[in-house]
Structure 1
Amino acid sequence: GFIVVKLKVNSFIATLGLGQVISAIVLKVSFNRQITDVFSGTFEKFGRNQYFGIPVVFFYLAVAGIIIWYVLEHTPVGRFIYATGGNPEAARLAGVKTDRMVWGSLIASSFLAGVAGIVFSAKVGLFTAATGPNYLFPAIAAVFFGASQLKGRPNVAGTFIALYALAFGIKGLQLVVGTDSYWVNPMFQGTTLIIAVSLASQKGLAKMRKRKVQTT
């Protein structure tokens, strides 16, 4: 929050840069080792239990998604967040405390990322510093892909659909390719990210042209 709000660094760049710094700290603290056999059975059940044959992680995701969806779509705070993200200066002039919205959004995002890391460690029963960065670009791809398909902006429903679309797409390609499928994951995610950003940009330009036509 401080880097984005006070130092005026682009939030995406700040996320990437600070992520690398934190990864370096974790590597130093863990001596770049894979930590196993330190979690209790109760902790591992937190990430491995199943209900009605469905992994408990799915229910965590569903609950978090419903809460976030409600906040963003049905509360003044959500409207302020979208306004701040869309046009910070216009939102500020309209009376929105934009700095507070940015701080709150980044803190909430960091908290959820931390919870996701804890659940992931409980599910796999180990910790390694190399795990987190591998999920950065899939998350970004899912957000942009979801935004390009629904509403033209980041949204919970679109992201949820995109997550499973990416997972099924990658799994399908891996089954088709066979044993030599180590390259499928990054290739599919990178291609999807490029296509999703292109679609989102085209939709944004189309909306701008439509507004210009309506005002003339």
Structure 2
Amino acid sequence: MTADVMTFWFRHGLVQPIGERTGRGKHLQFAYTEANIAAIMLQLRDFGANIDAMKSIAAIYRSAIRWAEENNLSWMQAAALSTYVNMLVAHGGVTLPSASISDFRDLRRAIEDFESSDLGKLLTDDLKEIAQREKFSGIWGNCETFVEIAIQPLRLEETPTTHFYRTPNGWKRHLAKAGQFYARKDGVYASIALDVLAILHRVWAEPKTSEATLVTTSEPAR
């Protein structure tokens, strides 16, 4: 990223520092998630997206980050919650049948196996309450998005692409086949597909120097 691009983005709010700028010559400090957002914005810029589209897509990620902060979720807790919800969906638990969950034998066994794993041990009753309270909509719209943007991948794995598409009500984000399904449902037949994990892998596993570098906090994904 060149210094000119960085300055332009800063002036238009595409990258957002921690706190206020205090004067000339002072380094701005950014949350590590801002480095991830900036990396995705670079790909969108290379693709030809305009500044308004980039700001709208960045806002999707920032909304998810705020949601995680409001629920006091670390990356690992959000990953556990997202996995739990996906298990419920896979077993038809559209209404979160917490009261009758024991009636779903396969689901019960799957949850027990998950809760015995390292990630599953983070699945507290408080996290389950978030899933119950938000009835899936907040989980899909925020939890999964936060897990994606808050990761610091040092290993590259095969993952679904992330699709962004524009509707009259703004830009939306979905993963892979879900992106195709919801885009068609919204009457949209063109989208931008990004390999987000590969983009973020380059940030953390293959860092490169440039004219302008985001000075980030060293907060790891917990």
Short-chain TM bin? under 0.3
Q: TM-score, normalising length from structure 2?
A: 0.25
Q: Say which structure is richer in strand.
A: 2
Identify which of structures 1 and 2 has the higher relative contact order when contacts are C-alpha pairs closer than 8 Å and 6+ apart.
Answer: 2
Structure index of larger Rg:
1
Q: TM-score, normalising length from structure 1?
A: 0.25
Q: Say which structure is richer in helix.
A: 1
